[in-house]
Chains A and B, each alone.
Chain A
Amino acid sequence: MTAMEKKDPFIAGICIPAVGEAGKTGDWSDLKPVIDQAKCIPASKNKPACFLCWLYCPDAVVTMTIPVTIDLDYCKGCGICAEECPANAIKMVRKVECDESL
């Protein structure tokens, strides 16, 4: 073992499979999904139904709960949930409104 190798338990590209192991990856995005719970099918009908956002989310940050929640710490802002929502209950909005003049 060299001195460099003693500083880190992993000498190769190996990680522990755990939430947050790669950092809070939600900060990559500049768009975030916002749910209108009045339109969202599970919330408005108070029934475990639809959940297409949960099904399609490629990052598994959507919960299959009433109401549906999205973990913005890890949401990449791809917008697939908004695209798939049959009730148009999800809108993608800018996290920080940019000054258009800049």
Chain B
Amino acid sequence: MSHCELITGNEAAAYAVKLVKPHVIAAYPITPQTSLSEKISLYIESGEIKAEYVTVESEHSAMTVLISASTMGARTFTATSANGLLYMHEQLHWAAGSRLPIVMCCVNRGVGAPWSIFNDQQDSFSQRDAGWIQMYCRNNQEIIDTVIQAYRIAEEVYIPVMVCYDGFILSHTMMPVEIPEESLVQEFLPPYTPHTEISPESPKTVNPVFFPWRRENHEGVLCDGYMEKRYKLQDALLHSADIIRRTNRDFAAMFGRDWGGMTWEYRTDDADIFIVGMGSLAMEATVAADELRRGGIRAGVLGIRVFRPFPCREVADALRGARAIIVFEKCVSYGQTGGFSTDLKAALYGTGITAPLHNYVAGLGGRDVKARELTEAVEGSLTAIDGGDGEHKTVWLNCFTG
């Protein structure tokens, strides 16, 4: 029977790992991920997780261990944060390019310099183009459910999945979480079969040098060059959106919780003011939307659950009737604008949606963002937009900018 426990986000992730029964785990502790890797260590010590836990000297090595294990057919898990994720950067590309269904939790934290141990989403955002699927959770229940879904998605499309959730705000905050029944998880998640069999009886050369041109193999068959292999990754990532939507539907049918697939919406049926965000900040925006509605503003929230592949279809459908789009985001594309809003604007180009878009860079390095402040920011934007100002605008919320 499923049961309910009062647990932190990191404990929810550890519980999900226990339920999916990985074979190999390698992780290096870093705040705010540490209590997750500690919990997994305890599960292994007690025999509740029967996996090989490889202790490593760095995140780069952790991902390297998982790449080897996953290539040979092991289900794998790791977790990290901030600079640990950046140290893993090279291996993230190897994992995706090798089409390995590794699942990793990124407990979102601001990156140095200067040092911060507190939350924003610059770490995972800066790994946007590594070829991984990225999913963002809004609460601890979604963390446990998304880690389970992540394995099924990854192992179906052979793309690694990063399950991202906000450090401290979720990772160290307790919420009631319904623990899925183990037998149902086993039913939901079939065993992992690697895309290519590699064994002493069937040896393969993995990732040799690929040349710019296509090549004939020893049987004279014309095979992929580097560019075809990279196109396959892009094609599979774009295609994975359908698998993510279906996996969410199947999960909802089996466990009774629907997280929306690629995106989720709150009070958007009659909304003309759309607040857009990812993770816990978007959850905070639902409180702001309620407050705005009490003031007569028809506000709704479009939450981004999957950032890569980008939910182009969902955002275009949702924002069709928007009079104003207000983005709150915890990441920056330095030298451009807010990280998420840059992508959102690109997705809206050519859709006919021309509503003014104001984006607020908020909560960097753990700076608190209250629902009241989101409400005031939206009201400020609407004053400008209703006054005839149709320009896009970027504001660093609660930041002294001179």
- Tell me if A96 is interfacial: C-beta within 8 Å of chain B: no
Across the interface, do B99 and A21 meet the contact criterion of CB distance under 8 Å? no
Which A11-31 residues have C-beta < 8 A from chain B?
Answer: 11-23
Q: How large is the interface on A (under 10, 10 to 19, 20 to 34, 35 or more residues)?
A: 10 to 19
- Tell me if B224 is interfacial: C-beta within 8 Å of chain A: yes
Q: How large is the interface on B (under 10, 10 to 19, 20 to 34, 35 or more residues)?
A: 20 to 34
Across the interface, do A20 and B218 meet the contact criterion of CB distance under 8 Å? yes
Instruction: Select the residue from A10, A12, A19, A20 with max chain B CB neighbours within 10 A.
Output: A12
- Tell me if B87 is interfacial: C-beta within 8 Å of chain A: no
Across the interface, do B217 and A16 meet the contact criterion of CB distance under 8 Å? yes
A5 to B219 alpha-carbon distance, docked (Å) = 20
Across the interface, do A21 and B236 meet the contact criterion of CB distance under 8 Å? no
Q: Which of B229, B231, B235 contacts A13 (CB 8 A)?
A: B229
- Tell me if A101 is interfacial: C-beta within 8 Å of chain B: no
Across the interface, do B196 and A10 meet the contact criterion of CB distance under 8 Å? yes
Across the interface, do B97 and A15 meet the contact criterion of CB distance under 8 Å? no
Across the interface, do A4 and B232 meet the contact criterion of CB distance under 8 Å? yes
Across the interface, do B239 and A2 meet the contact criterion of CB distance under 8 Å? yes
Identify whether the interface residues of B are mostly helix, strand, loop, or mixed.
loop
Q: Which of A12, A13, A17, A23 contacts B216 (CB 8 A)?
A: A23
A8 to B223 alpha-carbon distance, docked (Å) = 7
Across the interface, do B98 and A13 meet the contact criterion of CB distance under 8 Å? yes
A18 to B223 alpha-carbon distance, docked (Å) = 14
A13-B97 in contact given A4-B232, A21-B205 (Cβ < 8 Å):
yes
Other than the known A12-B229, A22-B209, A23-B216, what 15 A-B pairs have Cβ atoms closer than 8 Å? A2-B236, A4-B232, A8-B232, A10-B223, A11-B99, A11-B232, A11-B236, A12-B98, A12-B99, A13-B98, A13-B208, A14-B196, A14-B207, A16-B218, A23-B217
A-B contact pairs, 7 of them (CB 8 A): A2-B235, A10-B223, A11-B195, A13-B229, A15-B204, A18-B218, A21-B217
